[in-house]
Amino acid sequence: MSASRCRTPRNTDRPGEPPLRRALRRTAAALAPASGPLARHYAETILTALTGLPHHRLYLDAAHALGAGQRARLRAIVARCRRGEPLPYVLGTAYFHSVDLRIGPGALIPRPDTEVLVEEVLRREQGATRVFLDMGTGSGAIAAAILAARPGWRALASDLSLPALRIARANLPSGCLCACADRLEGITGPLDFVVCNPPYVTRREFTRLPRSVRGFEPVIALDGGEDGLDFYRYLAAHCGARLRSDGALYLEIGWKQARQVTGLLTRAGWRRVQMRRDLAGRPRVVSARRAP
């Protein structure tokens, strides 16, 4: 694809159209082939990053004109997005729950579905002090969001990927410990709870993921084994030893995996195994308590 074809289309100007509104319209049109119904939202996100204006000011301050440098950067951003690169990687930032995160290709892009996992932790864990592990932390999104809401808590964030841990360190408070660890290897307790968004995509599902996911995001954060349940089996068998008596485990799941994951935990002796749905009404989080 030539550079000229990646530029914002030169749509016919609309008489009296404010400059920023024109930029939004043209950017959305340029992104539409790759981004579909999200093109307008992505255009707003890009213009927010370029101008420093919050979303709600883009239309109120529509007379704002982009400078030459901003227009050049806009063309470069659009070109990368049209090649399929995820927008958070292009911008280097992502918003999750209540925090602005640095993000890069070494870490999975945080999704809104995972906010349900954070909310379940905050709803169930009410103590003034807690010590917890965010296993497979990636960008550090989960631990960062929890600590933003509960600054008195202490966290350990672990990941096997050094590139992911470098990104996590930039997103987590200075007092949060980061550890390079394979699953629970080297992790000791007792912990009040473990929270984890494990890889849960099946091998078959992985081949069907959009190219923007399969071609850019780390496979290690997506591939859950042949049936997507490898990490759940491991956690059901080994996580309890790191928890205090009545400590908890909080897991994100694929929406088709509720029965399998709750069954694994129940058979492994966990108590109070519960499932929570996301805003679309689909199973999204499973929690359980260690047997005393």
Residues 174 and 113 in one domain: yes
Residue 115, domain CATH: 3.40.50.150
pLDDT on residue 61: 87
**Cα 260 to chain center, whole Å?**
24
Indicate yes or no: pTM above 0.75.
yes
65 and 121 inside one domain: no
Distance of alpha carbon 168 from alpha carbon 138, whole angstroms: 6
Q: Do residues 125 and 254 both lie within one domain?
A: yes
- Predicted confidence at residue 14, as pLDDT, reads 67
Q: What is the pLDDT along the chain (292 residues), one digit of tens a residue?
A: 444 344 544 545 666 789 999 999 999 999 999 888 889 999 999 999 999 998 888 988 888 999 999 999 999 999 999 999 999 999 999 999 989 999 999 999 999 999 999 999 999 998 899 999 999 999 999 999 999 999 999 999 999 999 999 999 999 998 899 999 999 999 988 999 999 999 999 999 999 998 889 999 999 999 999 999 999 999 999 999 999 999 999 999 999 999 999 999 999 999 999 999 999 999 999 999 998 7
Say if residue 121 is in the same domain as residue 233: yes
Question: How many domains, the chain?
Answer: 2
Q: Residue 201 is which amino acid?
A: V
Q: What is the pLDDT of residue 195?
A: 98
Which of 93, 88, 66 minimizes the C-alpha distance to 8? 66
Residue ending a domain, among 53, 83, 113, is 83
Q: Is residue 175 part of a domain?
A: yes
Together in a domain, 49 and 179: no
Q: Looking at the structure, do residues 217 and 161 belong to the same domain, yes or no?
A: yes
Of 83, 114, 140, the position where a domain reaches its end is 83
CA-closest candidate to residue 250, choices 278, 203, 290: 290
- Cis (ω within 30 of 0) for the bond into 190? yes
Provide the pLDDT for residue 5. 46
At which residue do the structure tokens 């308590």 appear? Answer: 289
Name every residue whose Cβ is closer than 8 Å to that of residue 7 and which is 6 or more positions away in sequence: 30, 75, 78, 79
Domain end, chosen from 50, 83, 116, is at: 83
Same domain for 45 and 181? no
Instruction: With respect to residue 274, please indicate whether it lies within any of the assigned structural domains.
Output: yes
* Nearest in space to 278 (alpha carbons), one of 53, 120, 116: 116
Same domain (yes/no): 150, 186: yes
- Put the strands of the sheet holding 283-289 in their side by side order: 177-180, 154-159, 131-135, 191-196, 243-252, 283-289, 271-277
- 119 and 64 share a domain? no
**Same domain (yes/no): 131, 69:** no
**Which pLDDT value is given to residue 15?**
66
Q: 93 lies in a domain? A: no
In this structure, are 66 and 143 located in the same domain?
A: no
Q: What is the structure's pLDDT at 36? A: 87
Q: Are strands 93-96 and 99-102 parallel, antiparallel or unpaired?
A: antiparallel
pLDDT at residue number 287: 98
Q: Does residue 259 belong to any structural domain of this protein?
A: yes
* Structural domain harbouring 253: 100-289
Residue 95, in any domain of the structure: no
In a domain, 40, yes or no: yes
Based on the fold, state whether residues 77 and 160 are members of the same structural domain.
no
